[in-house]
Amino acid sequence: MAKMKAAMAAVLVMEKEGVTQAFGVPGAAINPLYAAMREHGGIGHILARHVEGASHMAEGYTRARAGNIGVCIGTSGPAGTDMITGLYSASADSIPILCVTGQAPRARLHKEDFQAIDIASIAKPVTKWATTVMEPAQVPRAFQQAFHLMRSGRPGPVLIDLPFDVQQAEIEFDIETYEPLPVYKPAATRKQVERALDLLASAERPLIVAGGGIINADASALLVEFAELTGIPVIPTLMGWGSIPDDHPLMAGMVGLQTSHRYGNATMLASDFVIGIGNRWANRHTGSPEVYCKGRRFIHVDIEPTQIGRVFAPDFGIVSDARAALALFVEVARERAAAGTLPDRRGWASECLARKGSVEYLRKTHFDTVPMKPQRVYQCMNRAFGRDTTYVSTIGLSQIAGAQFLHVYQPRHWINCGQAGPLGWTVPAALGVRAADPTRRIVALSGDYDFQFMLEELAVGAQFKLPYIHMVVNNSYLGLIRQSQRGFSMDYCVQLGFDNINTPADEPAMGYGVDHIKVVEGLGCKAIRVHRQEELAPAIAQADAWMAEHRVPVVIEVLLERVTNIAMGTEIDHIVEFEPLAAERADAPTAVSASMLD
């Protein structure tokens, strides 16, 4: 046993649990923990400009690689309340992050001390566990429990609050004998999987809905293997996008009210049976259960028992980690394939593939207007960015249109805040992704309002040399809210444009308001403004050159036409298409043929 401060024990446990990187903002009440990190070394630290930004960096870090757990650190009071949005975002999408806050000394907690707030009570609804550690000797076990909970069952975030005097107190602790607690994940049984395959065998037009749980479980290869064995087409959810490549012949498109493909919705409506794996039946995917469920039966596989039947009652439910379930599905399907008892799904799969490749089900992208339409921007992005590109985005018309038109080919290459959708998430999340992986190609996607929310975090990218490309599609509007206000016959308090007194009258950006180029450059990064589609490819090439030379984020701002309505609706069978459908699409998501299904 060794004598050490409790703060040092916390650092040693985090390191033993695999933490090598933290994001945060120091402060008086958390300085003992920072002192221990400085003394010990081993855990890098990136200084955010806002504690909410640090929490989103931790999210991006976790989401980027299987096994990562992002750590966010802040002082007492507002640091913890600033983290709540990050905790909510992580909790909603089943993302494990650890938030550590400082706190006033124990004897002053009830005296309304400066920046003393019961942050554990505030954080409880958006965490798996939130605790203020009142006994110094419990600090190492609190951190041990935190990692155990974050990794067990449905993943999620934890907050640990450390009073100043608790951090400073000396305790006896032996890190040499420390081991992480065993992780618990429920697993499907063979009998359950056999029953599920029996039910699937009775279907004529089955689909697999692949949710974010497959990404979290690092089970995408098993998903593709199961789909190929059974011949069942796959509908990824927004959080599951990339679990099967967009150009795979069994990738049947996304379904939903907003981030969906016309062929995906049409295929869902033509199906008679759905097996959902690692998904929540989120309302923007399903619309109303009355429409979504009509004429089809359902199997639901999810790691969280209370998700089964939460939105609608499936015909059969299995509580299981997605990886454990898919491994068994593959095993049993192989046996049935060898025995010749798996149904032949080639006709149904060919029908789905034909829809995916038909211009009847594709939205138009080839617009030549100036200012540009967003659809043309995404067409240009598809042509400029390769299959290895990782996209990071959060919410708004920019993200919705991006999901309709961009292509994703690998798991964890679409990193999106799905359920919470906080504006400002994109910049810090992209920085967290870059911190997790120094080599991959990262392209963030924001509208102008999302970008303006937390653009100060670009200074973090400049300071810590975290380069990535940030595409800002600027229509000088709260575009999604403007579009939703159509139902109220108004366009109210959603305009961001004004005549910036510093913008020349002959500059096309006049009237768009904030000069993002000057702001970005003032934060130590590089920026380019694009007006026409032919300027976009050279801008990307210039961005690549600048990143290689300076190792800083590069923003490419594209001036859009002010008002473009993006396809969406109230039900999956009632999507309003505001623009003409495609006469041709050179950037269609697939070049495969039905012969590939043989």
For residue range 286-310, what is the model confidence (pLDDT) as tens digits? 999 999 999 999 999 999 999 999 9
Rounded Cα–Cα distance for residues 84 and 90 (Å):
10
Q: Is 488 exposed, middle or buried (0-12, 13-18, 19+ CB in 10 A)?
A: exposed
CB count in 10 Å sphere of residue 538? 12
**pLDDT for residue 358:** 86
Specify which residues 158 forms β-bridges with: 98, 129
Q: For residue 482, give Cα distances in angstroms to 485, 488, 499, 517, 580.
A: 5, 10, 20, 25, 21
DSSP per position, 530-596: E-SGGGHHHHHHHHHHHHHHH-S-EEEEEEBPS--PPPEEEETTEEE--SPBPS--TT-S----GGG
SS (HEC) of 16-83: HCCCCEEEECCCHHHHHHHHHHHHHCCCEEEECCCHHHHHHHHHHHHHHCCCCCEEEEECCCHHHHHH
Decide if pLDDT at 598 tops 60.
Answer: no
Q: Are 417 and 63 in contact (CB under 8 A)?
A: no
The DSSP H or E segment spanning 191 is helix 190-201
- pLDDT, residue 592, reads 45
Does the annotation mark 517 as catalytic?
no
CB of 268 closer than 8 Å to CB of 255 = yes
- Asked if pLDDT for residue 326 goes beyond 70, the answer is yes
DSSP state of 495: B
pLDDT digits (tens, 9 = 90+) for 85-120: 999 999 999 999 999 999 999 988 888 787 789 999
**Concatenated DSSP letters of 205-262:** SEEEEE-HHHHHTT-HHHHHHHHHHHT--EEE-TTTTTSS-TTSTTB----SSSS--H
Let me know: does 40 contact 82? Beta carbons within 8 Å.
Answer: no
Whether 190-358 and 2-177 are alike in CATH topology: the answer is yes
**pTM (2 decimals)?**
0.94
Contact between 463 and 524 (Cβ < 8 Å): yes
Q: How confident is the model at residue 591 (pLDDT cuts 50, 70, 90)?
A: very low
Catalytic residue chosen out of the listed positions 423, 536, 566, 572? 423
In contact, 172 and 304? CB cutoff 8 Å: no
Q: Is 25 a catalytic residue?
A: yes
Topology of the domain covering 2-177: Rossmann fold (3.40.50)
d(CA 379, CA 533): 10
> Does the annotation mark 234 as catalytic?
no
Residue 457 has pLDDT above 80, yes or no: yes
Concerning whether 481 is annotated as a catalytic residue, the answer is yes
Catalytic choice (12, 25, 442, 460): 25
Asked if 65 and 437 touch (Cβ cutoff 8 Å), the reply is: yes
- Rounded CA separation 58/95 (Å): 10
- Active-site annotation holder among 19, 33, 46, 51: 51
pLDDT digits (tens, 9 = 90+) for 479-527: 777 888 888 888 888 888 888 889 888 888 888 889 999 999 999 999 9
Across the chain, mean pLDDT equals: 93
Q: Which of 43, 308, 311, 481 is catalytic?
A: 481
Mean pLDDT of 147-158: 97
pLDDT at 594: 41
- Among 383, 466, 398, residue whose Cα is nearest residue 432: 466
Q: Is the pLDDT of residue 593 over 70?
A: no
Any idea which architecture 190-358 has in CATH?
Answer: 3-Layer(aba) Sandwich (3.40)
Annotated domain spans of the chain: 2-177, 190-358, 374-566
Among 235, 275, 478, 597, the one annotated catalytic: 478
Give yes or no: 109 in active site.
no
Which residues of 295-395 form beta strands (DSSP E)?
297-302, 316-319, 389-393
Rounded mean pLDDT of 229-249? 96
How far apart CA 536 and CA 552 sit, in angstroms, is: 19
Which of these CATH numbers, 3.30.450.20, 3.40.50.970, 3.20.20.70, 3.40.50.720, describes 374-566?
3.40.50.970
